[in-house]
Amino acid sequence: MKSILNIAAYLFVSLDGLPELRAKMLNECNARELKGTILLTGEGINLFLAGKAEALRGFVDWLRSDPRFSSLETKESWSEDQPFKKMLIKLKNEIIRMNHPTIQPEKGRANFISPKKLQEWLDRGTDDLGRPVVMVDTRNAFEVDYGTFENALHFNIDKFTEFPAAISAHKEGLAGKTLVSFCTGGIRCEKSGLYMREIGMEHSYQLEGGILKYFEEVGSAHYQGSCFVFDEREALEPNLDSIPVEHSIRKKLKTG
């Protein structure tokens, strides 16, 4: 039985006193023998943590006791071993860098669609009003190599700051279609969805909870391959198991 709980979570919320907050969080994580990475910024928090279930859920409860984090939602998966080597809490300028200061998810989210509703659309090939549905992958090229939605549009980008220019260049060709942007856990889409609306792509949505939430609620339908994750597991299959070693892209790169 897999005994290590893994969680991914983020929340856009105005934060101050970051050095003090970092110290408190680090003490709580170390006391519970948790490992992983937490990013703290003035615009919110992003975290990937792993540990014993009771300890990890206890930390989440402690975090939510702060009113600023009361609405934090987590995505869970399990592993046999601890996928992180250490506990790190980093102070950054942005949770996910986009270089567009006008895009502020805390002030209002983009339209979103649930995993199960998205499956309905993909089963049918159109949204509820009959418009063709196009999946827009906001991730970097190496992540797309592990897997993505069938027929998804992606831009072979190396970093998220390249996404605005890439999607803008396709604006005319996507007119009249319903766009659903997606990423690993949803965080990049909090910004990409707002940006797409800002440039006039009115029929655009973000996939709520990203690929990981889709795997949890739907599974493999309309998805090909695995999903890269930012820890030693490398990638997760649609059943949320880590990929077999023989399928590892990292292994193939090392062995040629």
**Residue with the two structure tokens 């206890």:** 58
Contacts of residue 83, defined as CB under 8 A and 6 or more positions apart, other chains included, come to: 4, 6, 50, 231, 232, 233
Q: Residue 76 is inside which H or E element, if any?
A: strand 74-79
The verdict on whether 29 is a catalytic residue reads no
Burial letters for 69-94: b for 16+ Cβ neighbours within 10 Å, e otherwise?
Answer: beebebbebebeebbbeebebeeeeb
66, 96 contact by CB (below 8 A): no
Structure-block tokens of residue 10 = 């983020």
Query: In the beta sheet, which residues pair with residue 225?
Result: 147
Task: Kindly name the residue from 29, 183, 189, 227 that is annotated as catalytic.
Answer: 183
Catalytic positions, please?
183
